[in-house]
Chains A and B, each alone.
Chain A
Amino acid sequence: MTISEDSSARPRGTGTGAAWDDAPCAVVAVDPSGVVVGANTVATGLLPQAVPGARLEEAVPHWLADAHRRLTASPSPLSGPGEPPGGEAGGRILRAHPARGGNGVVVWWLLDDTELRLAEDALRGERERTAFLAEVSETLSGTLNVERCMEATVRLAVRHLADAAVLIAPAAGRRLPVTYSAPDGPVHGTVEADPETVPGLSEALQGFPPAPSRWIDPALLPDWVVPPRFDGPAGSVVVTPLPGHGVPAGALVLLRRTGHTAFSRSEEIFARLFAARAGAALSAARLYAEQAAITETLMRELFPPKLRRVHGVEFAGGYRASELKEWVGGDFYDLHPAAGPDEESLIVLGDVCGKGLEAAVLTGKIRNTLHALLPMADDHPRMLGLLNGALVSSHHTRFATLVLASAARVENHIRLRLTSAGHPPPLIVRADGKVEEADTRGSLIGVLPRIRARTATVELAPGETCLLYTDGITEARGGPLGGEMFGERRLKDALGECAAMPAEAVVERVQMLAGQWVAGRSHDDMAVVAITAPRTVHLSAVDGHTRGRYTA
């Protein structure tokens, strides 16, 4: 702002008749002794004491008096760089710009900044809220775990909305799951309490009809709603329902201490926005948890079992589904442990055509059928024939290949009966590192009404292994040059180094080599089972129960 030196800025000493008398902002002229020598109409409206003759420090707020003192103390520049002084007067926010008149008189132009400041404050507030809501969305959309979601809601609420927060979820049985805010982070608990004891809570927990936020008298708050170590007392309490979509998501209780300002209207609206996001996230998490539980129950039977040593025969298995997101696929294996040391354990490994869940469902059916046919396990071709009959007559159009292996320990050897049904024959790793194919052939299962299969009998000496595998291993594409098949030769080479290894180590080795071969590329399901004659003469040296015993 420039002021022309000659007439307009020059005070007349009376406060009237000056050119700035009608200026749209307040103007006050002060002489070198600190006495007001002029003030225009707007100025007198805002600062009634600032009349000519009054001492400035008695007539104006101290921020302006201070600014004047600083200005007169420094000789040269009128206003330094930086912000001009500002402050409140007469209910308005003013910014003071000084100009020098003649005879050492300073003329203060007081511009009204109120609207701008209010707009700036509102903008800052909105920005903070937007940032907060963005943080809320990001945090809450990250997790699909109900407890984590409840924790995050409470943590965010105390950071931005209230001194303490309590999230009450719909009852699980007779108890209410509750998450409280606490100084070291949220804590969970369940309480046996009647939601009716908190006004507005039972409506909020029902989820329908939509209930509004309710202010409640802090005195009516039952103890179980007050967070542990809350350094209250609560001055204001609001109960906000969390809208769940189709399912009730719970209610959020926000508490502010006495002394902290109560919730303003806009804060209350904002709390509702927050509650809407939290509610949506919580109901999504609840839905996911339900679905995950259902899936887990249905899939439990489809997971490959954990293999172990049975009566002196080592079994180990490894499985990797084709799709990263899948847990099960068309490859499978199953173990039916022998009842006693003189009986055979039956292990089956197979491959249903196709991938993913649909194929996995058929593997479950095959596993169940074989389980029922267990009494016939001494005759593999017969067992396979009955399985084939069951599959051909079913509505499944898929077919399967598989290998049956019956294994029993005979002194320190293992006697194996192996039967392939359209499956790659098992590989035998001899103690000297030689790798042989088991001499068994048979037709695949589930296509023709009758099948043929030939069983091979194989003896494993200590340290020798029989490997059952699916073509996901040998047909894996990749390698250092990309696109090459892993192939049987590489598998056999790898097995040549596996003589005298424990079963788990053989499985791990094969899985590792195949995994490195595909190196993150897409691949088919891969399943491997190793049946190994323990190298040492000790039987069940480590099975967790005994310290080991000698058998030979």
Chain B
Amino acid sequence: MTIHTDHASTAADSAADPCAARERLWDAVREGDEYAASEAVFAALDAGTEPEAVLLDVIAPVQRKVGTEWAADRITVAQEHAATAINDRIIAALAHRVRGAARPGAGAGRVTVACVDGEWHALPARLLAEVLSLRGWQVDFLGAQVPVPHLIAHLHRTGPCAVALSSSIPTRLPTAHAAITACQAAGTPVLAGGAAFGPDGRYARLLGADAWAPDARAAADRLGGEAPLLPGPRSAHHPVDDLPHLADQEYTMISRTAPRLVGETMAGLEERFPAMREYTERQRQHTAEDIAHIVDFLSTALYVDDEELFTGFITWTAQILTARKVPAHSLRPALDLLAGRLKDFPRATRLLEQAHRALGACTAPAPAPTSDTTGHGKPE
């Protein structure tokens, strides 16, 4: 987000400028001021900004900023949720106002937009749904966390030409894979989008999605593009065919025994750091959740067989912890203990070693793996 400080410009000028509108909207949602937020957005519309540009160049960047500001510990979880709720309401109001302005019949048909089960971030998908509506598509927006059976029943009932599947949390990738395969088996091609699929869409390709788009505009372009999205011929296709490395069962074993692994790692940490025994219930809970997250990302990295997914998560967590004044080297003992437990799993062992190395120079021995109570390394 660029900072725009041209106070001399007239109100209409600044309203038409996406930068200025973004800034106004950001200030409003951070304060939880729904009225000011809607004023900012509607002023931009009134000043002649296209509704699609309002969605994608004003609201979408502000929503992204909500995420980065939370990660940097500059806003609270409550502010994050409130800002998201306000953006959501504004999108609804905007959709209501511009309905009818959509190009009639311009779209190619019907399309389903849904989030993977377990995915709570509905806003990116919502933005895409509204952009597609503006472009004349008949859109069924199924919202956050759609169970695969619901999605498939919907496809059978409505027969859309494509499903746009959104996921931002990488640990949802195995579920996303199940959803992609099921949609394709039902004869519907899948366009995957969202941060979970990697900045270059590599996991979308790996999991066999028919297309990938880096953002809502690209997704709408792809769906409305020259080449229609068609289900590829995938004869006798089984999800495991995409991922032959799953044959080693490491993912299955580790994801199935995750709670026990977390418990054993907790016990190991307490043995190493007797101070942990003095933790409050809440501190223990947060530590357990942090470890559960590490295990979750580890097993996801095993699922997609990609070391970057795990090292990326570990270094990101280190940054989050640092932002919250928790020493990042508290991660190392947890990785060590997991490595001890998972000696018999060569791929997991390799991932843990790489993560260890990626944590880099912070070699000072940890006093105790603390986990504060205001927030912890958890992507929400």
Contacts and interface: CB of A to CB of B under 8 A. Distances in A.
Interface of A: 134-135, 138-139, 142-148, 152, 184-185, 285, 288-289, 292, 296, 324-325, 327, 479-483, 493, 497-502, 504-506, 508-509, 511-512, 515, 519-520, 534-536, 538, 541-545, 547-548
Q: Which 4 A-B pairs have the closest CB atoms?
A: A482-B259, A544-B96, A480-B292, A145-B159
Contacts of A325: 147, 149-150
Nearest to A150: B159
Nearest to A292: B157
A121 to B, nearest CB: 23
B97 A145 contact: no
Given A292-B153, A541-B34, A541-B35, A142 B86 contact: no
B145 to A, nearest CB: 7
B228 interface: yes
Interface string B113-141: 00001101000000000000000000000
Nearest to A320: B145
Given A145-B156, A289-B157, A500-B78, A547 B38 contact: yes
Given A501-B78, A542-B89, 4 more contacts: A292-B157, A504-B85, A544-B96, A547-B42
B78 A536 contact: no
A185 B77 CA distance: 49
What secondary structure prevails in chain B residues at the interface with A? helix
B233 A145 contact: no
Q: How big is chain B's contact interface, by range?
A: 35 or more
A480 B289 contact: yes
B155 to A, nearest CB: 7
B236 interface: yes
B322 interface: no
Contact of B76 (A135, A145, A482, A497): A497
Contact of B82 (A139, A184, A296, A501): A501
Nearest to A541: B35
B300 interface: no
B370 interface: no
Given A135-B233, A145-B157, A515-B118, A482 B260 contact: yes
A57 B145 CA distance: 77
What secondary structure prevails in chain A residues at the interface with B? loop
B157 A481 contact: no
Contacts of B155: 143, 145
Contacts of B230: 185
B85 A481 contact: no
A184 B96 CA distance: 35
30 contacts: A134-B235, A135-B233, A135-B235, A138-B235, A139-B187, A143-B159, A145-B157, A145-B187, A185-B228, A289-B157, A292-B153, A324-B117, A324-B147, A325-B147, A480-B285, A481-B259, A481-B262, A482-B260, A482-B262, A497-B76, A500-B82, A505-B82, A508-B85, A515-B120, A519-B118, A536-B35, A538-B34, A544-B93, A545-B96, A548-B38
B35 A538 contact: yes
Contacts of B88: 504
B191 to A, nearest CB: 17
Contact of B148 (A135, A324, A493): A324
A392 B274 CA distance: 58
A508 B92 contact: no
Nearest to B84: A505
Nearest to A537: B35
Contacts of A501: 32, 78, 81-82, 85
Contact of A143 (B92, B156, B282, B292): B156
Contacts of A504: 85, 88-89
A544 B235 contact: no
B210 to A, nearest CB: 14
B158 interface: yes
A508 B120 contact: yes
Contacts of A139: 187
B104 to A, nearest CB: 19
B380 interface: yes
B243 interface: no
Contacts of B34: 502, 534, 536, 538, 541-542
A184 B81 contact: no
